[in-house]
Amino acid sequence: MKMDTPGLVVTEKRVGDTDRLVTVLTRERGILRAFVRRAGRGAGGRLSATRLFTYSRLSIFEGRSSYIIDDAQPIEVFFGLRKDIGRLSLAQYFCELAVALA
């Protein structure tokens, strides 16, 4: 099953050499954990669109045991958060809180 939905990347974790596991907060489905294949090797827009604190339009496939992000286009990239350690820490705290409460 394929779904197209906007979502905010709230966590990211490197898996292997080129893949990443991201946690995305979506309006329709809540919290989703999805793999981004080949995210480290010029994966087109998937690399920048699935970075932490990026709000993107995501094409997500539901696999047998996990979700896979097939395509992603950034809507809003919050670069300002990365410039200020206080804002970055607060944003990370709220993302962790959202994941814990979901």
Q: Looking at per-residue confidence, does 45 or 7 come out higher? A: 7
Average pLDDT, the chain: 87
CATH number at residue 23: 2.40.50.140
Using DSSP's 3-state secondary structure scheme, residue 51 falls into: coil
CA nearest to 11, candidates 99, 102, 101: 99
Q: In total, how many domains does the chain have?
A: 1
How far apart, in whole angstroms, are the C-alpha atoms of residue 77 and residue 48?
A: 8
Q: What sign for the dihedral angle of Cα 32, 36, 40, 46?
A: negative
pLDDT at residue 24, rounded to an integer: 95
Residue range 70-92, pLDDT digits in tens: 899 999 988 888 888 999 999 99
> Token pair of 81, please?
């958060």
Residue labelled with tokens 């809540």: 30
What's this model's pTM, rounded to 2 decimal places? 0.85
Domain range for 18: 2-101
pLDDT at residue 41, rounded to an integer: 60
Residue 50 has pLDDT above 80, yes or no: yes
